[in-house]
Amino acid sequence: MNNLVELSGNLLYVAFILYLVATVFFAASIRDKHSSANTSRWAKLGIIVTVIGFFAQTGFFVIRWIIGGHAPVSNMFEYTAFFGMMLVLSYIMIYFIYKNSIVGAFIMPVAVLIIGFASMFSKEISPLIPALQSHWLYIHVTTAALGEAILAVSFGAGLIYLILVVDQTKATKRTFWLEFILYSLVSVVGFVIVTTTFKAMDYEMTFKWISESGKESELVYNMPAIAGPIDGEKLTEGFGPLFETPAWMNGENAPRKFNTVLWSLASGLILYCFVRLILRKRIAAAIQPLLKGVNPDLVDEISYRSVTIGFPVFTLGALIFAMIWAQVAWTRFWGWDPKEVWALITWLFYAAFLHLRLSKGWHGEKSAWLAVVGFAIIMFNLVAVNLVISGLHSYAG
């Protein structure tokens, strides 16, 4: 059994490395002067490596399923890793439809960041809680993840479009928000670096506090405490806390989760400032010349098609299948749980996206901004709703 666990972890690591290599190949295809980015040898190498990496990650998924006896999508590590795998699958499908490697140069790094983010959570294989012991776990969660992943491809294409068309010669609201998007991506990199560092140091800080249930318990931090638990007593030496977690944040582990979010933002800001110091210009301004010759109409088309494919898949998985399972598990279709609310918000947003695109003629830049905002909503649903907001889906955190 231990050998299978090790093999599963190794396959995920191999997939992670291959996705990084594929990113380099796709990026090289953009600058290939001897052929178009879509037909260059770098693009072909990129998609081959991507497919091999996808099969390696599929092996990780299957082996973990065999070990645990259930689909490995029941906690933050498993679901986030699976979401990354579905994002890669979605791009593979888009590639063979459009033969476009440019989007891969932006989507593959996002997949790498998502898988890296997943690795920060516990990899322990645990039995399913009673509410999850249903075949609807496979149907609802996997379909919802696939739908979100296809929708996320529109983010990559939309981001390319914005970098192409937003004027970087002067500071405007458009340049600010575009740079904020890139800062957010850098924040994930910073978070992975910081978390990996403290994990390698076996860092721990323990607090004694009164939990939400009214019981005295101990809360272990794996990173220095920027925000500590309310009225918490520090039992070990170390940095912080600088202040207490806001009282409105509920959940047994809310202080630790809030501290994780703060570290992500802080480490991202430091890394972003370092990158800006090296580039001496906005990140978007540094990338823009590299995309010279990219057809903006094509990436706009890819962004739109990703939404038209992903929206019905998301509707099935995140709403219809979810409501059926909710009826089976909790004897009601809808209960205004935070996860349910944000799934509905996501669905309404992309419904509005399609309406504005088809009825109001929101093509090009307006459509690209919508694609970016939609991905932000998806990530808020994945990260903030699971890690900060308490609800019936809090087991995922």
Please report the pLDDT score of residue 392 as a whole number.
Answer: 53
CB 229 within 8 A of CB 218: no
Q: Determine the pLDDT at residue 250.
A: 61
pLDDT at 395 over 50: no
- Give how far Cα 372 sits from Cα of 229, 253, 274, 307, Å: 34, 30, 24, 12
The Cα–Cα gap between 160 and 258 comes to 32
For the chain, the domains span 1-127, 170-280
pLDDT at 293 over 80: no
Q: What is the mean pLDDT of residues 111-117?
A: 88
70 — alpha (psi -120 to 50), left (phi > 0) or beta?
A: beta
Q: Which residue has the higher pLDDT, 244 or 64?
A: 64
pTM value is 0.85
Give the CA-trace dihedral at 167, 171, 173, 175, to 10 degrees. Answer: 50
Q: State phi, psi for 228 to the nearest 5 degrees.
A: -100, 170
Give the DSSP per-residue string, 141-204.
Answer: IHHHHHHHHHHHHHHHHHHHHHHHHS--SS--HHHHHHHHHHHHHHHHHHHHHHHHHHHHTT--
**Read out DSSP for 6-51?**
HHHHHHHHHHHHHHHHHHHHHHHHHT-SSS-TTTSHHHHHHHHHHH
User: Looking at residues 370-392, what average pLDDT do you find?
Assistant: 79
SS3 293: coil
Q: Please tell me what DSSP assigns to residue 314.
A: H
Backbone phi, psi, residue 130, to 5°: -55, -40
What are the residue ranges of helices labelled H in 335-363?
338-359
Range of lowest pLDDT (67-81, 101-115, 238-252, 293-307): 238-252
The answer, yes or no, to whether residue 174 has pLDDT greater than 80, is: yes
| Average pLDDT score over residue span 246-254 | 68
Query: How far apart are alpha carbons 132 and 44 in whole angstroms?
Result: 41
Query: What backbone phi and psi angles, to 5 degrees, belong to 237?
Result: -75, 150
pLDDT reading at 213 higher than 70: no
